[in-house]
């Protein structure tokens, strides 16, 4: 029987693919929110950010031994699901009485598969976790009987030995009432490599996505809904992070922060008025950038320095397959607008559809150069098992090892390419794009020149693209001054 004040260990799986960790060390905002509500329910909480700490499973075992939790809860998207389940196995080996919990996108949709396959996972939290974890903590404190669990909306567990789910929990109606436990984070750990002097936060001004992209998990998770925070509350949170934790760079976790123009403009106005001094990195939709053409000077004045827009394809037929609900011409227009206002532009292209060929990939690379983003990455089409596009792709899936479902390793085999051919083509595509950007570096403003050289060094040293970038940088066609800037000694 756990103590009346249960101990909860929140864990990020120790998974790495050379993607997100290449640009910085990103705090687990979802666990900070869950921690805040678990603590409000009476739990003693520890966050073990094994991913950011580059912990091994043995390191996690030592943390278990030191903290001796009653509950271990692990966040899991598809690529991290195997390691998340391994954390649960480690917990059960340490103490079979620990209640193990999985949450986040993949378990939300694949709870039945997980519970049927792995006895080390006791409970799955489906959907938003803050209010669910409060009720789960109280149930554990009282004994966590089947009767108690059955009263908690938004979970799945084994009832009479069979996977069973309670009704879905409605989304929280007031995002400003959700209070993350920022004080439980190890702040010196989190940083954005292109700005090494600036401590990095991940923040959320809204939740949800009303798009219907067929390959994406977010619109499925949020059920094509969207909720926004009050502008004043969001900006006040940024000021708190700056003043209390020394944050100088913040990335918006929002999928579509600009979906309501009046609210978004109010956020920009407040950021300008209060001069927060925080550099903002964000993602938004191509169509919203085009819509906001007149507002882009405010973006820059508010501290927005980097905007990612998901172009995804340069052929209209592929955009239509992906249900992007936009036009190819809009993508170029959006990137040109971002560039015109001195903001770093980033985009990605999803390649590896069933009709992909080396020629079509090369065509995408050439069009990507023409679009002119500062940064572009060429990603593998990944068949999340719950995505709308999955039925079209399932007969062409080359591996069911979820660790490969990371947008880097090709999982779907095109009809006219092998998996190794596709992998090599994706890496070459990125190398070709960045070689073109570096050759034209002098055309960019000085701050962008320095930023791109820094990014290139990071890709060389830290990312899955390191080998391709090193090969690119050693080519005789690379200007000598660029090779000198990269400090490769070649």
Question: Is the separation of the CB atoms in 309 and 348 below 8 Å?
Answer: no
- Beta strand pairing call for 304-312 and 279-284: parallel
More confident residue, 435 or 311: 435
More confident residue, 396 or 489: 396
Per-residue pLDDT averaged across 224-248, rounded?
93
Predicted confidence at residue 243, as pLDDT, reads 97
Question: Is the separation of the CB atoms in 430 and 378 below 8 Å?
Answer: yes
Residue 69 in 3-state DSSP?
Answer: coil
Percent of the chain with pLDDT over 70: 86
Three-state secondary structure readout of 248-288 = EEEEECCCCCCCCHHHHHHHHHHHHHHCCCCEEEEEECHHH
| Interatomic CA distance for residues 188 and 324, integer angstroms | 38
pLDDT higher than threshold 80 for residue 297: yes
| Domain 7-160 identical in fold to domain 190-344 | no
For the segment 368-397, what is each residue's pLDDT rounded down to a tens digit? 898 899 999 898 988 888 888 888 889 999
Domain range summary for the chain, segments of one domain joined by +: 7-160, 190-344, 352-490
Q: Which residues pair with 1 in a beta bridge?
A: none
For the segment 88-104, what is each residue's pLDDT rounded down to a tens digit? 999 999 999 999 999 99
Q: What is the mean pLDDT of the chain?
A: 88
CATH topology of domain 7-160: Rossmann fold (3.40.50)
Within a 10 A sphere around the Cβ of 332, how many other Cβ atoms?
18
Give the angle 86-92-93 at the CA atoms, nearest 5°. 90
Predicted confidence at residue 488, as pLDDT, reads 45
The pTM (predicted TM-score) of the whole model is 0.90
| Most distant CA atoms of the chain, gap in Å | 71
| Class level of CATH domain 190-344 | alpha beta
As a 3-state breakdown, the chain gives helix, strand, coil percent values, each rounded to 5, of 50, 20, 35
For the segment 103-154, what is each residue's pLDDT rounded down to a tens digit? 999 999 999 999 999 999 999 999 999 999 999 999 999 887 778 889 999 9
Question: Is the separation of the CB atoms in 465 and 379 below 8 Å?
Answer: no
Nearest partner of 269 among 239, 291, 299, 308, judged by Cα: 299
Q: Tell me which DSSP letter residue 172 carries.
A: P
For the segment 454-468, what is each residue's pLDDT rounded down to a tens digit? 888 888 777 666 676
pLDDT bracket for residue 322 (50, 70, 90): very low
Question: Is the separation of the CB atoms in 384 and 76 below 8 Å?
Answer: no
Predicted confidence at residue 417, as pLDDT, reads 96
Q: What is the token pair recorded at 424?
A: 């090599």
Alpha-helix runs per DSSP H in 118-255 = 130-142, 146-149, 218-221, 231-245
Q: Tell me which DSSP letter residue 184 carries.
A: G
Give the angle 156-162-168 at the CA atoms, nearest 5°. 25
Question: Is the separation of the CB atoms in 245 and 199 below 8 Å?
Answer: yes
| Interatomic CA distance for residues 218 and 239, integer angstroms | 28
More confident residue, 407 or 215: 407
More confident residue, 218 or 446: 446
For the segment 172-208, what is each residue's pLDDT rounded down to a tens digit? 999 999 999 999 999 999 999 888 777 999 999 998 8
Nearest partner of 2 among 106, 142, 105, judged by Cα: 142
Using the structure block, give the residue that is written with the tokens 């009346």.
4
First to last CA, the chain: 64
Question: Is the separation of the CB atoms in 280 and 305 below 8 Å?
Answer: yes
Percent of the chain with pLDDT over 90: 65
Q: Tell me which DSSP letter residue 412 carries.
A: B
Per-residue pLDDT averaged across 338-350, rounded?
93
| Residue/partner pairs of 240-243 with CB below 8 Å, 24 or more apart | 240/182, 241/182, 241/201, 241/203, 241/278, 242/276, 242/277, 242/278
| Interatomic CA distance for residues 184 and 182, integer angstroms | 5
Q: Tell me which DSSP letter residue 314 carries.
A: S
More confident residue, 214 or 276: 276
């Amino acid at each position: 029987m756990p103590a009346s004040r249960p101990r909860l260990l929140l864990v990020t799986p120790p998974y790495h693919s050379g993607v997100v960790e290449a640009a910085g060390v990103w705090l687990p905002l979802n666990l900070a929110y869950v921690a805040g509500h678990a603590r409000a329910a009476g739990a003693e909480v520890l966050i073990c950010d094994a991913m950011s700490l580059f912990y091994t499973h043995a390191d996690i075992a030592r943390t278990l031994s030191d903290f001796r939790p009653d509950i271990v809860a692990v966040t899991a998207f598809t690529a991290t699901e195997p390691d998340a389940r391994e954390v649960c196995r480690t917990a059960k080996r340490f103490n079979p009485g620990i209640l193990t919990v999985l949450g986040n996108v993949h378990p939300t949709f694949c709870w039945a598969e997980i519970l049927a396959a792995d006895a080390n996972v006791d409970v799955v939290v489906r959907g938003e976790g803050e209010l669910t974890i409060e009720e789960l903590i109280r149930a554990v404190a009282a004994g966590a009987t089947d009767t108690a669990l059955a009263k908690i909306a938004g979970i799945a567990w084994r009832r009479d030995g069979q996977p069973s789910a309670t009704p879905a929990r409605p989304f929280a109606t007031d995002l400003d009432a959700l209070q993350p436990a920022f004080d439980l984070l190890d702040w010196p750990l989190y940083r954005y490599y292109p700005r090494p002097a600036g401590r990095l936060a991940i923040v959320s001004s809204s939740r949800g996505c009303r798009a219907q992209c067929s390959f994406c998990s977010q619109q499925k998770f949020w059920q094509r809904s969207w909720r926004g925070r009050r502008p004043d509350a969001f900006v006040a949170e940024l000021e708190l992070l700056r003043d209390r934790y020394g944050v100088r760079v913040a990335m918006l976790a929002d999928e579509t922060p600009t979906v309501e123009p009046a609210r978004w403009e109010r956020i920009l106005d407040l950021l300008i008025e209060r001069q927060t001094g925080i550099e903002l990195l964000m993602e938004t939709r191509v169509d919203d950038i085009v819509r906001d053409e007149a507002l882009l000077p405010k973006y820059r004045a508010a501290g927005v320095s980097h905007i990612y827009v998901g172009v995804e394809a340069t052929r209209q037929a592929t955009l239509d397959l992906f249900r992007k609900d936009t036009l190819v011409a809009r993508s170029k227009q959006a990137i040109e607008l971002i560039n015109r206002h001195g903001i770093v532009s980033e985009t990605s292209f999803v390649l590896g559809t069933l009709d992909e060929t080396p020629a079509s990939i090369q065509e995408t690379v050439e069009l990507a150069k023409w679009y002119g983003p500062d940064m572009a990455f060429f990603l593998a089409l990944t068949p999340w098992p719950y995505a709308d596009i999955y039925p079209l792709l399932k007969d062409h899936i080359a591996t069911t090892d979820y660790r490969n479902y990371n947008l880097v390793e090709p999982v779907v085999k095109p009809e006219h390419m092998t998996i190794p051919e596709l992998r090599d083509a994706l890496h070459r595509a990125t190398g070709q794009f960045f070689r073109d950007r570096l050759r034209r570096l002098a055309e960019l403003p000085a701050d962008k020149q320095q930023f791109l050289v820094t990014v290139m060094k990071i890709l060389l040293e830290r990312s899955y693209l390191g080998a391709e970038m090193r090969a690119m940088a050693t080519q005789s066609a690379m200007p000598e001054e660029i090779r000198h800037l990269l400090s490769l000694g070649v």
